[in-house]
Structure 1
Amino acid sequence: MAGTVLIVSPFTSIGALTLAAGIMAIALGMFEVFHAVELRVEAGRPAPGATAERRPLFRSRPHPQH
């Protein structure tokens, strides 16, 4: 069905395909940001049963090579 639409109306379908791909890229980007924040928070939590203090989410001192 999509192939038929591409053949019958190629220029309109190019615009629709570009719009659909853009919307999908934005949605995927939002999902990736949410997942990255979730992983970052999880990395800061101690393992179950561990008595160590919670590690900071970001380093407080610069990297040794800088």
Structure 2
Amino acid sequence: MPNSGVRSTDAEDRPLSPFASGQVPPGSVFLHSPFGGSYDSRYFGPLPADGILGLAASVFVLAP
């Protein structure tokens, strides 16, 4: 997947620790964003699937 590498620090040079297990247990999901600086399951691990309320969608996007 594009931009799926793990960073060693965040944008403010604070250390990041990757999720070590590599396995997603049953009933859980692994959340990944294509944005390279995203703080997602690569770092905090899988989440319970029953905690997902829906899918976010852009309503208004203002380009710089």
TM-score range, shorter chain: under 0.3
- What TM-score comes out, normalization by structure 2 length? 0.20
User: Which of the pair is proportionally richer in helix?
Assistant: 1
Larger Rg: 1
- Greater relative contact order (CA < 8 Å, ≥ 6 in sequence): 2
TM-score by length of 1: 0.20
